[in-house]
Amino acid sequence: MARHAIPVALALLLGACASAPRYDAVHAPQAALALRQVQSRTFESPDPRLVLKAALATLQDEGFVIREANAELGLVTAVLERHSTNQGLRLFKWATIISTYGVAALLPWQDSSVSAVEANVNVTAEGERTRVRISLQSKVMDKRGGVRSVEPVTDATTYQRLFASLDKGLYLQKEGL
């Protein structure tokens, strides 16, 4: 019994000395503010419904599937899914199965995944202008639907391209084309 007490006491003592990850209260809000600026754009249109329709059309043109749209709240939720298989892993799997006389076939293999980009669009009227915020989130799931990773899309070029498409779509909506 005393033999186990010393390692347990040592583990508790060392665990008490461990420090928690430090939250950087100064830089975290600045990073969030910078991302919000990249994700937002103001359009010279007093009609938020027109901008919302243009946003819906833009997302559909980009291959997104609209999951939810609420004109009253000015909110659109959409997803773009891609299924991928790793050809190199597939070849390795078959080579391993052959070289082990089929025993490797009993092992679980993760050879495919689903990656999705989820888009949330918020359209807000601001007097004679309309503000749009598009936030994108990248999610990778295994073939069973388990989430491997989730992270926000922070690439400014991606948002610039989306807003350029939205600007064109807004022009087409205004012209009735």
Q: Which pTM was predicted? A: 0.67
R_g of the chain computed on alpha carbons: 25
The one-character DSSP state at 65 is E
Amino acid at 96: T
Residue 69 lies in a domain: yes
In a domain, 1, yes or no: no
User: Residue 91 domain-assigned?
Assistant: no
Q: Residue 21 falls within a domain, yes or no? A: no
**131: helix, coil or strand?**
strand
- CATH code, domain carrying 76: 3.30.310.80
Assess if residue 67 is contained within a domain: yes
* Residue 164 domain-assigned (yes or no): yes
* Cβ contact 137:153 at 8 Å: yes
Assign 43 a pLDDT band (cuts: 50, 70, 90): very high
pLDDT at 3: 57
Q: How many domains would you assign to the chain?
A: 1
- Whether the pLDDT of residue 14 is over 50: the answer is no
- Predicted pLDDT of residue 61: 92
Q: Locate tokens 């009227």: which residue? A: 125
User: Residue 72 belongs to what domain range?
Assistant: 36-85+113-175
71 assigned to some structural domain: yes
| 3-state SS assignment for residue 94 | helix
What digits encode the pLDDT tens for the residues 20-39?
A: 445 444 445 668 888 999 99
Pairing between β-strand 129-142 and β-strand 75-85 as defined by DSSP bridges: unpaired
Instruction: Tell me whether residue 4 is in a domain.
Output: no
